[in-house]
Chains A and B, each alone.
Chain A
Amino acid sequence: MIPAISPRRSKKYEGLVQTREVLDEAGVRRVLAKMADEIVASRIDTSRLMIVGIRTGGVHVAERLRADLVSRIGDEVPLGVMDITLYRDDVFSGLAKPVIGSTELPGSIDGRTVILVDDVLYTGRTTRAALVELMDFGRPDSVKLATLVDRGHRELPIQPDFVGVVVPTTRAELVSVLLREVDGVDQVVVRERRAG
């Protein structure tokens, strides 16, 4: 009855051709492990940590990252999900109204260190929206940004604290993070609009 949220990948990739593979299965696993190592090494108080994945791409990256963190620190780390659609700056810019998912945080963020997790960091506008939304839920001690891929082209002064891989791209390209949970395979690829 209530429409499910599905990524509609097939339609999204229509008219696009894959130009190069950035990470394969082992590569995705390796960079997630590296990010977890960096978080542990960063002297963040892991007892006050909360991981928050940004819908839709950041959700499964956040789950993976959390699993890697838990295996390193031996403690549970709360995991939340944030949908930033209602905070976007382009809701009425001529695009269709995007599908909205819900925001679910596992308790208060007051006094916590929140690590926002996204799959691809691009213009920084999603991160901005996530920051504004997060502050409506309370006052975290600090907020960090983790992204599996940083593809450049920032439009706002936002930089990640933890990066899996930096991928130089053109604006015409599209970076796709494929994850087992959704796509049946772990892979990061760059696609481009087919000429003609």
Chain B
Amino acid sequence: MNRSFRHRHLLDIESLERDDLLTILGLSEKMWEVSERAVKKVPTLRGKTIIGLFLEPSTRTRSSFEIAGKRLSADVINISGNTSSTTKGETLLDTVKNLDAMRPDVIVLRHSSSGAAHFVAQRVNCSVVNAGDGMHEHPTQALLDCATMIKHKGPLDGKTVAIVGDVAHSRVARSNIHALTKLGAKVRVAGPRTLMPIDIAAMGVDVSDRVEPAITDADIVMVLRLQSERQEAGLIPNAREYSRYFGINPRNIELAKPDAIVMHPGPINRGVELEPEVADGPRSVILEQVSYGVAVRMAVLYLLGGGAHDELASQAV
């Protein structure tokens, strides 16, 4: 049952309970309906202020949070890296303390350092949503991925999810592994050993050096972006060889279940980790993930957008 969500911030999936995930996902279903209306706006967060601070490039996540906030009638402003005073040398702490002094209700933060959102959350009065912190977590991405999977596959208990590619650098993978294992899915990860975290098996997943065993009979194949901006030298020979051994293409995707879906958090390196025929093919739910992103973020902003979170036992008015 939908018990109360008792968190002030959304910083990671790891510290959430299964029930928290189900609360957010259940609420997302309802928020989805708002996006299908002629007037895509409800007054719920009227008078609330949401600041998006995106100190790393972002298209999807930033616009998704902005749309989500606006559909709930919050005032949303976005600040991106190259227009913020961080380029003048201001520290992250000074920046967020100044923003916090303007009394926002929520700060949505994307930052290249793992732990940035936790660091900020301890030092501001408003709620903080982690929109991606370095190689750590990207909780709303995992939530929207789970929402998309549930939409197509029903409850995830016992479903097999193959996560393929650059797991080591991927906050998306980390958040998804936490979410999927909490929701009862079987998770396999595959990728070059140089792009696999050394502690990965401790997260309760099956690890493979090759793509084929991981995606065989999988219900869901999640392809990760090869993160060229985070590659140190020598982890992979080159993109072409990576594509040849770890790319998902029209041939190897046939190893998955006949009704398996293919996901990618975007942006896609077409022809590297994912062939266009698959990315645009009938199994692909990549654009649906984006649609669900708005609904999931509406749910998160609604749950964090102010007020106490005590159990309700009052008379309906």
Contact = CB atoms under 8 A, between A and B. Distances in A.
B310 interface: yes
Given A95-B310, A102-B29, A138-B38, A3 B2 contact: yes
A87 B42 contact: yes
A194 interface: no
A32 B34 CA distance: 32
B44 A99 contact: no
A179 to B, nearest CB: 15
Interface in A86-142: 86-87, 90-104, 120, 122-123, 125-126, 132-133, 136-138
A132 B43 contact: yes
A80 to B, nearest CB: 13
B102 interface: no
Contact of A86 (B22, B26, B43): B43
A100 B34 CA distance: 12
Interface stretch (A6-14, A37-45, A71-79): A6-14
A163 to B, nearest CB: 17
B309 interface: yes
A90 B5 CA distance: 17
The residue among A57, A96, A133 with the most chain B CB atoms within 10 A of its own CB is A96
Given A12-B313, A123-B317, A126-B316, A92 B33 contact: no
Contacts of B312: 95-98
Do most interface residues of chain A lie in helix, strand or loop, or is the interface mixed? Answer: loop
B311 interface: yes
A91 B5 CA distance: 14
Contacts, number: 92
B41 interface: yes
Contacts of A14: 313
A91 B150 contact: no
Contacts of A133: 42
Given A96-B312, A123-B317, A125-B317, A83 B23 contact: no
Contacts of B44: 86-87, 91
B238 interface: no
Nearest to A6: B1
A136 B39 contact: yes
B76 interface: no
B30 A97 contact: no
Contacts of A174: 315
A2 B25 contact: yes
Contact of A96 (B42, B154, B309): B309
B22 A92 contact: no
A1 interface: yes
Do most interface residues of chain B lie in helix, strand or loop, or is the interface mixed? Answer: loop
B149 to A, nearest CB: 10
A1 B156 contact: yes
Classify chain A's interface size. Answer: 35 or more
A184 B149 CA distance: 37
A110 B27 CA distance: 28
A132 B154 CA distance: 34
Contacts of A101: 30
B83 interface: no
A136 B315 contact: no
Given A1-B22, A91-B44, A136-B37, A102 B310 contact: no
Nearest to A103: B33
Contacts of A5: 2
A96 to B, nearest CB: 4
Nearest to A100: B30
Contacts of A3: 1-2, 22-23, 26
B7 to A, nearest CB: 12
A194 to B, nearest CB: 14
B23 A137 contact: no
Interface in B291-315: 302-303, 305-315
B49 to A, nearest CB: 13
A2 B26 contact: yes
B29 to A, nearest CB: 5
27 contacts: A1-B150, A2-B22, A3-B1, A3-B22, A56-B316, A83-B30, A86-B72, A87-B43, A92-B305, A92-B306, A93-B307, A95-B307, A95-B314, A96-B309, A96-B311, A97-B302, A97-B309, A100-B27, A102-B30, A102-B33, A126-B317, A132-B43, A133-B42, A136-B39, A137-B37, A137-B38, A174-B315
4 interchain residue pairs of minimum CB distance: A92-B307, A1-B155, A96-B312, A86-B42
Interface of B: 1-2, 4-5, 22-23, 25-27, 29-30, 33-34, 37-39, 41-44, 72, 150, 154-156, 183, 302-303, 305-317
Interface of A: 1-6, 8, 11-12, 14, 56-57, 83, 86-87, 90-104, 120, 122-123, 125-126, 132-133, 136-138, 174
